[in-house]
Amino acid sequence: MSFEVSNLQLSLPTKIREGRTQTVGECLRREYRMVCHVMRGDFSRDFFEGCRAILLDRDRNPKWMPPRLEEVHDEVVEKYFSKVDEKNIFPKVDDPEWEDLDLPPRRSHGRRLVPKL
């Protein structure tokens, strides 16, 4: 079975461990940033290539870039979690219609939940 190489690298255990120390809001914000970058094709067109191979041509033979997981560098992975704003150096992120996720404040219930993973 084929899988999207770039997106697989995004969910590796190091990112999961980072999320354990973050609040739910911070985790949702990271997830939002990553999904927005994937859907916009900012750093890779692999998502669209996977859709083409499975849904359009149905050849189930996607041409990933890069073709092997070992060729996906940490710098590329970090780009997916970067905030999109005017200070960002990546080429396609100067879109005035795209804002970072801003969650409304929540009342504190007096206790903090700690993950058990």
In a domain, 9, yes or no: yes
Answer yes or no: is 42 within a domain.
Answer: yes
Determine, yes or no, domain membership for 101.
no
- Report how far residue 60's alpha carbon sits from residue 50's, in angstroms, rounded to the nearest whole number: 8
Q: What is the count of structural domains for the chain?
A: 1
User: In sequence order, what are the residues at sequence separation of 6 or more whose Cβ sits closer than 8 angstroms to the Cβ of residue 86?
Assistant: 94
| pLDDT per residue as tens, the chain (117 positions) | 345 555 555 556 667 778 888 888 888 888 888 888 888 888 889 999 999 999 999 999 999 888 887 788 778 888 888 876 544 434 444 566 667 677 777 666 556 666 676
Q: Is residue 66 part of a domain?
A: yes
pLDDT of 91 reads 42
**pLDDT at position 2, please?**
46
Residue 91 placed within a domain:
no
Chain CA centroid to CA 93, Å: 14
pLDDT (0 to 100) of residue 89:
39
CA 110 from chain centre, in angstroms, equals: 32
In a domain, 10, yes or no: yes
Any domain includes 13:
yes
Distance CA 63, CA 67 (A): 7
Count of C-beta atoms within a 10 Å radius of residue 93? 19
List the domain range (segments joined by +) for residue 55: 5-80
